[in-house]
Amino acid sequence: MANVVSMREPAALTEILTIVRSALRDAINAPTDRASLDVVGDALVAVAAIAKSEVAHA
């Protein structure tokens, strides 16, 4: 299978890393375990949306 590099890939990667860093920081500072999981879950949804849009462009 050919390795196709998207023109948006660097921007998407930067956006994903920003989301992950922010989620980790917020999860650590969350008042409860459940709140931490909510933060991480929201981040996963955001990353999935970026991945979905990247697949649509490929």
| Tens of pLDDT, residues 12-44 | 999 999 999 999 999 999 999 999 999 999 999
State the DSSP code for 57.
H
Q: Which residue has the higher pLDDT, 12 or 1?
A: 12
**12 contact partners, CB below 8 Å, separation of at least 6:** 6, 50, 53, 54
Q: How high is the pLDDT of residue 18? A: 97
Q: What is the mean pLDDT of residues 2-14?
A: 66
The pair of structure tokens assigned to 11 is 């921007």
pLDDT score, position 56: 80
pLDDT at position 1, please?
A: 41
Scanning the structure block, which residue is given the tokens 């948006």? 8
Give the span between the Cα atoms of 28 and 34, in whole angstroms.
12
Token pair in block for residue 50: 């970026």
Answer whether residue 51 shows pLDDT above 50: yes
